[in-house]
Amino acid sequence: MSVNLHTPGGPGPAPELFTWEFATDPYPAYAWLRQHAPVHRTTLPSGVDAWLVTRYADARQALADARLSKNPVHHDEPAHARGKTGIPGERSAGLMTHLLNIDPPDHTRLRRLVAKAFTPRRVAAFEPRVQELTDRLIDGFAARGSADLIHEFAFPLPIYAICDLLGVPPEDQDDLRDWAGMMIRHGGGPRGGVARAVKRIRGYLAELIHRKRENLGAEGADDDLISGLIRASDHGEHLTENEVVAMCFVLLFAGFETTINLVGNGLYALMCHPEQRARLQESLAAGETGPLATAVEELLRYDGPVEMATWRYATETLTIGGQEIAAGDPVLVVLAAADRDPERFDQPEVLDLARRDNQHLGYGHGIHYCLGAPLARLEGQTAIATLLRRLPDLRLAVDHHDLRWRGGLIMRGLRTLPVEFTPAE
């Protein structure tokens, strides 16, 4: 592991990355990297060599740098090794052409088209449905006095929400939930299960899109996101059928594990900070919504879902934070490290739910800025507020040391979150 030392006298050896301890708490390692090796070349567990960018200023600059491409064709690896870095299984399922893998001008065209269908208005109109889904899930365990908030709450919520938004019929939603579950259960493990799940999702979406295209214009049949995407393609510009499939797939994938972890990590952080949580609960009881929105942004900064899922490939030799990067090298912007940079945030290791100056990078930055941010905010705020309101004495049912974090590196989140509370109606 080569280290770019910035401190004369030597800072000691670089911390070991990608261990069990790192998955549990990566922040001390990130602090070391930010200070001593802010642009650090390392070998990922997949065997791919990549640069990790950990300082806020470098991260923000890299995310917006047009010389850093999202397209894996620029990865300087034999073709068979490429694609290890994108969404699992997408290559074998023919799903490579989507927003997270392409650059302008294709990206500009696709993003403009999807933005026509995935509007803030559509998301705002969806609010009662997210509330209903949230309440239904809580109803499933409220009377029991205990629950695993990952499996029974944070996991199903975003998948049902995005299925509804896309227009997946209710009778098919459990299938999608199970396939999506296979994708993350197997994440980092054997690839076979992931590839099978991705193929099933792909096949299902292709058929659904085809059906919706046939029914377009029929009464009540086209007030959903898939129909919106098909229609957007019919207005002069084009989304091919394959592009609609890939778009729906990325909406499912990009919005799924991220939101699970926003809710899971967020609730865990709240349970670890009882005073701040009590203040938030008081403001919720008083019917205030401002503090909730500010709090959820801080939860994203403090322990956000996306750790390193921000692949870029250098299309030419360039310099980041004084470090030369060769053309073809992969670059991973470590959002979780950038968002704890003391050069940018006052007392970054402190959770401050009322933090004002909070331009975190949790949703990225630049042209690939999260398209689903309004939906993620709606889901995150509704989930956290409703749970705290309905189960006010929610507490962890196990010792902190018994919690297991997924060592996915790309996403940061808990495997389970067992809680107890006074049983409620």
- Contact letters for ligand HEM, residues 120-159 (x by CB under 6 A): ----------------------------------------
Q: Are 126 and 375 in contact (CB under 8 A)?
A: yes
Contact call for residue 280 and ligand HEM (CB under 6 A): no
Binding-site size, ligand HEM (CB under 6 A):
27
Q: How far is it, in rounded angstroms, from Cα 182 to Cα 305?
A: 19
Measured over the CA atoms of residue 158, residue 161, residue 164 and residue 170, the dihedral's sign is positive
Q: Which is nearer to ligand HEM, 37 or 306 (CB)?
A: 306
CA 261 – CA 150 distance, rounded (Å): 8
Give 250 or 414: the residue with its C-beta nearer to ligand HEM: 250
Q: How far is the CB of 10 from ligand HEM (least distance, A)?
A: 34
Q: Could you say whether residue 375 binds ligand HEM (CB under 6 A)? A: yes
Residue 196: count other Cβ atoms within 10 Å of its Cβ: 17
CA distance 54 to 328: 20
In the list 44, 52, 100, 353, the residue contacting ligand HEM (rule: CB under 6 A) is: 100
Q: For residue 413, what are the β-bridge partners?
A: 406
Q: Of 200, 226, 225, 201, whose CA–CA distance to 212 is shortest?
A: 226
Q: Which residue has the tokens 């896309």?
A: 166
Q: Of 33, 99, 137, 267, which lies in the binding site for ligand HEM, with binding defined by CB under 6 A?
A: 99
Asked if 64 is part of the footprint of ligand HEM (rule: CB under 6 A), the reply reads: no
Q: Which of residues 323-352 bind ligand HEM (CB under 6 A)?
A: 335
SS3 of 212, please?
helix
Q: Name the region of 346 (left: φ>0; alpha: ψ -120 to 50; beta: rest).
A: beta
Is position 88 an interface residue for ligand HEM (rule: CB under 6 A)? no
Near ligand HEM by CB under 6 A: residue from 268, 363, 405, 421: 363
Distance CA 9, CA 70 (A): 38
Whichever of 145 and 187 has its CB closer to ligand HEM, that residue is: 187
Interface with ligand HEM includes 176 (CB under 6 A)?
no
Among 259, 265, 281, 382, binds ligand HEM (CB under 6 A): 259
Site string for ligand HEM, 206-245 (x = CB under 6 A): ----------------------------------------
Which of these, 225, 203, 26, 237, lies nearest to 112 by C-alpha position?
A: 237
| Cα torsion through 348, 350, 353, 358, rounded to 10 | 0
**C-beta nearest to ligand HEM: residue:** 372
Candidates 167, 264, 305, 348; binder of ligand HEM (CB under 6 A) is 305
Residue 264: both structure tokens together: 């899971």
Among 310, 381, 382, 386, binds ligand HEM (CB under 6 A): 310
Residues at the interface with ligand HEM (CB under 6 A)? 63, 99-100, 111, 162, 250-251, 254-255, 258-259, 262, 304-306, 310, 335, 362-364, 368, 370-372, 375-376, 380
